Amino acid sequence: MSKALNILKEVFGYPAFRGQQAEVIAHLGDGGDCLVLMPTGGGKSLCYQIPALLRDGVAIVVSPLIALMQNQVAALNEIGVRAAVLNSSLSQQDAAQVEQKLLAGEYDLLYVAPERLLTARFLNLVTRIPVALFAIDEAHCVSQWGHDFRPEYSQLSVLHERFPKVPRIALTATADMVTRKEIVERLGLDVAKVFVSSFDRPNIRYQIIDKTNSRSQLLVFIQAEHPGDAGIVYCLSRKKVEETAAWLVDHGMRAVAYHAGMSMQERSQNQEKFLREEGIIMVATIAFGMGIDKPDVRFVAHLDLPKSIEGYYQETGRAGRDGQAANAWMVYGLGDVIQQRRMIEESQAQLKFKQVATQKLEAMLSLCETTTCRRIRLLSYFGETTDTVSCRNCDVCLNPPQVWDATVEVQKALSCVYRTGQNFGAGHLIDVLRGNLTERVKQWHHDRISTFGIGKDLPERTWRAVFRQIVALGLLTTDSEGHGALQLVEASRAVLKGQESVYLRLQAKPERSPGKRQTDDLVPLDSTERYLWEQLRSWRAKTAKEHGVPAYVIFHDATLHELVRLCPKTEDELRLVTGIGARKLDKYGNHLIEILRGC
What pLDDT is stored for residue 448 in this prediction? 95
Q: What distance in Å separates the CA atoms of residue 62 and residue 130, rounded to the nearest whole number?
A: 17
Query: DSSP string spanning 221-270?
Result: HHHHH-TT-EEEEE-SSHHHHHHHHHHHHHTT--EEEE-TTS-HHHHHHH
CB 210 within 8 A of CB 332: yes
Helix (H) or strand (E) holding 363: helix 351-369
What pLDDT is stored for residue 524 in this prediction? 56
| Residue pLDDT, tens place only, 356-378 | 888 899 999 999 999 899 999 99
What pLDDT is stored for residue 508 in this prediction? 53
What is the per-residue burial (b if ≥16 Cβ within 10 Å, else e) of 561-579? bbbbeeebeeeeebbebbb
What pLDDT is stored for residue 355 in this prediction? 87
What pLDDT is stored for residue 492 in this prediction? 96
What pLDDT is stored for residue 514 in this prediction? 45
pLDDT in tens, the chain (599 residues): 899 999 999 999 999 999 999 999 999 999 999 999 998 888 999 999 999 999 999 999 999 877 778 888 999 999 999 999 998 888 999 999 999 999 999 999 999 999 999 999 999 999 999 999 999 999 999 987 666 788 899 899 999 999 999 999 999 988 778 888 999 999 999 999 999 999 999 999 999 999 989 999 999 999 999 999 999 999 999 999 999 999 999 999 999 999 999 998 999 899 989 988 889 999 999 888 776 778 999 999 999 999 999 999 989 999 999 889 999 999 999 889 888 988 888 888 888 888 888 889 999 999 999 989 999 999 999 889 888 889 999 999 999 988 999 999 999 999 999 999 999 999 999 999 999 999 999 999 999 999 999 999 999 989 999 999 999 888 998 876 667 789 999 999 999 999 999 999 885 554 444 444 444 443 456 777 888 988 998 999 899 989 888 888 999 888 998 999 889 999 999 998 999 999 999 999 999 999 988 67
Q: What distance in Å separates the CA atoms of residue 528 and residue 186, rounded to the nearest whole number?
A: 56
CB 154 within 8 A of CB 142: yes
Amino acid at 581: G
Q: What distance in Å separates the CA atoms of residue 256 and residue 264, rounded to the nearest whole number?
A: 14
Q: How many CB atoms lie within 10 A of CB 498?
A: 10
Amino acid at 119: T
The average confidence (pLDDT) of the chain is 90
Phi, psi of 300 (to 5 degrees): -125, 125
Bridge-based pairing of strands 131-136 and 83-86 is unpaired
Structural domains of the chain ordered from first start: 2-196 (3.40.50.300), 204-332+370-401 (3.40.50.300), 403-506 (1.10.10.10), 527-598 (1.10.150.80)
What pLDDT is stored for residue 139 in this prediction? 93
User: Does this model's pTM top 0.85?
Assistant: no
CB 266 within 8 A of CB 216: no
Nearest 10 degrees: Cα torsion 435, 440, 444, 447: 20
CA-based nearest residue to 276, from 299, 296, 249: 296
What pLDDT is stored for residue 186 in this prediction? 92
| Residue pLDDT, tens place only, 50-79 | 999 999 999 999 998 777 788 889 999 999
Q: Which residues pair with 61 in a beta bridge?
A: 111, 135
Q: How many CB atoms lie within 10 A of CB 401?
A: 16
